[in-house]
Amino acid sequence: MARIMVVDDAAFMRAMLKTMLTEEGHEVVAEASNGLEAVQMYASAKPDLVTMDITMPELDGVGAVKEIRKNDPGAKIIMCSAMGQKAMVVEAISSGAKDFVVKPFQKDRVIESINKVLGL
C-alpha cells in the first residue's frame, strides 16, 4: 500500500490518523507537527501521499503545500481541518491539495480520499 506522511500539530490527531492508516495496510513513514517540519521531512521521507492539517504553528498547511509542490509538483496532499469553510477549501485546493477532509475524521471518508488521490 502507500507510504504516508502525517502532518498535524496535535499529537492525538497524528496518532488517530496513523492508527486508521496502518489498519488499512498503509505505512506511516514520517510525522510532522508543523508545516516547516513537513517541508523539511518531505524530501527524505519520500511519501506517496501527505495528510496535512491547515492550522499549525511555524508554517500553516497551505504554505507547506506550496513549498512542497515547488520542489515536487506531483506531490499528492490531502488537507485536513476542523474548519470546513468554503474559502479554506478553495485556498487549499488552489494551492495544490488534491482533496480536503474535515475533522473529526470519519475513517471511511479518510480512506476514500486516500484511495481517490492515489488512484487505488
State pLDDT tens for residues 23-64. 999 999 999 999 999 999 999 999 999 999 998 999 999 999
Query: Which uninterrupted H or E stretch holds 115?
Result: helix 107-118
The predicted model scores a pTM of 0.94
CA angle 84, 60, 113 (to 5 degrees): 45
β-strand 27-32 against 49-53: which pairing, if any?
unpaired
**Can you list the domains of the chain with their CATH numbers?**
3-118 (3.40.50.2300)
pLDDT at 82: 79
pLDDT at 40: 96
Please answer whether residues 7 and 56 qualify as being in contact, where contact means their C-beta atoms are separated by less than 8 angstroms: yes
pLDDT in tens, 74-93: 999 999 987 666 787 788 88
